[in-house]
Structure 1
């Protein structure tokens, strides 16, 4: 048990008088502090499923490395960092720029805690490159999340941090009604849920978290439990009771804006986000009719409102989206058991002109939905990252023929269906297959691409580990390749001459990731440095056989180079890295922090 994080009771300020904390109204409540008991879901990971290194599950329990600072496999590490991922040609561009997240949240992790509490403290133990947490959410009912804290990403010194922000107070239990455990007295123990959102785009390298602690008050009696579960203490003082809102309705005769041509009004409304459109709809009849026009909903992004989007909301958009072309529902629909069926009806009604569809990290995506997606014949971009459809559903996607971008990372897609999709979409330009652990014939997949997808510019199969040197040779036939991510593909095998062949036939490569290709040496890398003069990113993490000589050669020869990752390259000294950083200030030279900073007074 940690030292008590619950702050002592103090007199209320003027701004707090409208809210009376439950700990003041009820004196005999227990204070309770607990570490995460399980990881419920997440959007980013660095580990493969059978490895615990850098895994989300490392967030379970008390911290093991804090207050040490460094790159520890025993912590949870997010995959991306900095601006590098956003600069990829395959990175998803905003479908609806006016709906971009002002805090830029890129990933999240949802944690379960054993006991339901009235939340008062959340403490996050950051052990590597802190400052990425931008929001903390608490789940107060099956479909109701409340924002406990938010703030911009921070630049923090290179030291561990116990991030303990002041959270918003609510007089109800933070919980999830969907996960029960029973004690010997058959009393349900309801898991509390906390969700952390991250923006790591400002960080120099990967961020890592060791543990999360939740502190709060727990009712002693059944009556207290029921009162808090039903949020019956959400009181306001009498002089702060909600006042009747004044109507803002504008008389049509005085509203000169309404006399503009309908097309002009629509052109102006196209620059508004959804909240602003909802407000405009309440002004008068003319404005309301304008906000219903399908032309305003040709591009729709609801990711930012994941905590509010349910089947009822989606059904509301159905009639307005009859001409929709781009739809982003990433992160949405996880808390609504009717969302899958509602989305099926939405697709049936709106898929005729759909060209871009992003359903990343959507738990509602099932086999039936994947089958329905295959009927959206105009699709050019499809993103199903980390969705849970069974592997045999993907064979239906071979009915599509116009895809140029396909993201199936972290899905259960298998070899046969994937090869059928590739053969049917010969204009495919960007293909992402990271963490696709059901692919066992990656060599044949690469050969299929070489035969049928000659326009391919981006290939990413990070930690999809069934590639062999003979399969790697097929990349040399993809002359249009610009980005090649084969990180952790050759863990033990010798890569042969595939790098030399790729470098000779793909001279316009801009990004090359071959982290943990343990058989690579200076001689194998020399053709890459010599031929691929457009390289901006070169990731050599964990290649222990390379020396400072080839790195120096790369820094001198590659005039466009912006990022060189030589973390865990044991033959390269720290002194060499310091000298290169001075001599080549325009290149970010990554060197993972492999030392410990012990500060037990932190």
Structure 2
């Protein structure tokens, strides 16, 4: 805690205020979900209201589940590599959820009910929904916790700020399995009159100014005079200084630009801004920041604006015109140079912006995860895509087929939870004809598959990762696994969650033929026995992950024996209920 914060007198000691405890009223936003839109199982909406499972511990559909855990997702060749490694998040936040509470309070306590694999929470932010400024209330490193439920109550910063929105950030890298939250309770002091409210709002502005740090957009407005023209770099040539500056993050470059005139000029060099990642600065990115970068990114190649929309949108998600127009201008000016673009979890991505993206003719890597304010996609105008992530979007069959036809070099395709795809067998057929280089296919919870459509994956001889979780939940798989085993010899990762019709006999061709497999997910398959699992563990030399959660024919003591016999393999076994 800074000295400035210790000097703040809690406002409840000055005014008589009401202490209020309240649970979540609405889930505003999130970056990850396990459920499909028609299901409440594991859904973000389960955070609304009082807890229903705490203090029980276990895998409960009535709670909110985050999709990823551990490092297994990072090992996928389709996962995003850092565009600008210098701008790394020390706490490595991977996901977030934004929650609204019914009453405005000055936050003093928060209780987060974690009922499965706790310890992933790394940051808590607060904001009044009628203002754009987020305030950091707490941050800390992820924790390794015992396997029991936890009512997590970190010490919040004692700030006299009004909030009714809370944003929680997660880092699940260290977890052995999915984490689950049951509820969030916010406690604080509520103004008893409009007069109190206005007084607090007035003092809040001065508090935030005192606690604010220099942002990338402040560089244009704040120039420190060069009091000492002789500095440690005065004898170095510009080329050496530029090389040093390449290793700095964006905040450090901003500070260097204020040291003296020479460094200021060098910090404007476009070579320093070819790769930009603003994800960790999401709370600072505004129209001024975009305008600042626009002057420096004439040769930009990689741009990551993931999460950079929460301060630009009012609660009803109306677009902030100035910010939106600046982004359009950046895409237009860099349309001939940009090769990697990531706009994950941004509500400002609409039809018009997609047309701007489609004009970026050199794009190889495009990620639009959880963007759904667009209806029709013009992305078939692109022709050099290698990676395309359209998970949690409203992409439709005809548009996707045209994109696939236009991009013969496509290697990685992510379509998780794309619930508008109803002719996905036809999409697979297009892939077999037009995308011979495909290495990654992920269509988790795509329900329109048939076994005949899945059988066509056997023609994708370069396929290394195949995620078909929940795709044949209630259908007969036929001989599609045998076709995959026969044609996909390079397969490394296979997800078959909830393929309830799979038996030992149907799975055996995969075990005998796909010797490169490192990960197999068999969640919820009740027809497999210990025999097929033992053969997979013994016959697959590179296997590192086997998930047999909710495989009812397997016994826990069998799993424990396998864990002792194969300590180099992670064998997952989730449970439906612990007391």
Normalising by structure 2, report the TM-score: 0.94
The 3-state SS of whatever aligns with 2:104 is: coil
Q: Deviations for 1:335-364, whole angstroms, at most 9, x for unmatched residues?
A: 321222211011112222000000000111
Q: 1:251 aligns with which of 191, 213, 228?
A: 228
SS of equivalent residue, structure 1 residue 389: coil
Tell me the equivalent position of 2:297: 321
Q: Size of the alignment, in residue pairs?
A: 557
Tell whether the 8 Å contact from 1:318 to 1:350 is kept in structure 2 after alignment.
Answer: no
Can you list the C-alpha shifts for 1:540-568, whole angstroms capped at 9, x where unaligned?
00000000000000000011111000000
Contact residue 45 and residue 55 of structure 1 kept, 8 A: yes
Aligned counterpart for 2:347 among listed residues 353, 363, 367? 363
Query: Is 1:165 aligned to 2:142, yes or no?
Result: no
Q: Say yes or no: does 1:231 pair with 2:231.
A: no
CA contact (8 A) 2:225 2:260 kept: no
Give the direction of change, closer, same or farther, for the CA distance of 1:230–1:520 in structure 2 (3 Å limit): same
Using the TM superposition, name which of 38-47 and 137-146 deviates more: 137-146
* Residue 347 of structure 1 pairs with residue 336 of structure 2: no
Residues in 2 aligned to 1:520 and 1:107: alpha-carbon distance in whole angstroms: 33
Q: Residue 539 of structure 2 aligns with which residue? A: 557
Structure 2 regions of 5+ residues with no counterpart? Answer: 209-221, 313-319
2:166 aligns to what?
Answer: 194
Following the alignment from structure 2 to structure 1, what is the Cα–Cα distance between the partners of residues 542 and 324?
46
1:291 pairs, out of 259, 267, 279, with 267
Q: Please list, as runs of the form range in 1=range in 2, the aligned pairs for 1:381-396 lying within 5 A after superposition.
A: 381-392=365-376, 394=377, 396=378
Deviations 1:307-343 (A, max 9, x none): 1101111011001001000000000023321222211
Match of 1:154 in 2: 143
Please show how residues 101-250 of structure 1 align to structure 2 within 5 Å: 101-140=89-128, 142-174=131-163, 192-232=164-204, 249=226
1:491 aligns with 2:491: no
- 1:565-593 deviation line (CA, Å, top 9, x unaligned): 00000000001001101111001000002
Quote the offset at 1:130 in angstroms: 0.1
Per-residue deviation at 1:265?
1.4
Deviation at 1:227, TM superposition (A): 1.3
Match of 1:21 in 2: 10
What is the deviation of 1:465?
1.1
User: Displacement, 1:225?
Assistant: 1.2
Spell out, residue by residue over 1:402-436, the C-alpha distance to the aligned partner (whole angstroms, 9 max, x if none): 00000000001000010000000000000000000
RMSD: 1.8
Which residue is equivalent to 2:45? 57
**Comparing 586-595 and 507-516, the one that deviates more:** 586-595
Distance 1:310-1:15 versus aligned 2 partners, 3 A rule: closer
In structure 2, distance between residues paired with 1:263 and 1:62:
60
Q: 2:87 aligns with which of 99, 119, 129?
A: 99
Segments of 5+ residues of structure 1 without an aligned counterpart are 1-12, 175-191, 237-244, 598-602
